[in-house]
Amino acid sequence: MTRTYLAAFTLLELVITLAIVATLAVFAVPTYRSHIARTHRIDAAAAIHRAAQFIEGASSDNATALPTLPPGLD
């Protein structure tokens, strides 16, 4: 009697693969989060700089009234 074996992964191969992926995720997730936080800080600093430039320009044009921020900077 001849046995036919199907090509498949063993449980050990799947567990080892899962362990490798989990190890990579341990290092990748904190790095990704710090990159996102740094990007948000840079965007916030750029928005503050644009608002300051707008306020400075508007105050020099109209010295009697305080300027209002344009849409997108509020």
Domain boundaries, the chain: 22-46
pLDDT tens string for the chain (74 positions)?
Answer: 677 777 788 899 999 999 999 999 999 999 999 999 999 999 999 999 998 888 888 777 666 666 666 676 65
**Structure token digits, residue 71:** 């849409």
- Res 62: pLDDT: 66
Per the listing, tokens 């948000």 go with 40
- Res 66: pLDDT: 64
Q: Is the dihedral of CA 28, 29, 33, 34 positive or negative?
A: negative
Closest by alpha carbon to 53, among 61, 42, 38? Answer: 61
- Res 69: pLDDT: 67
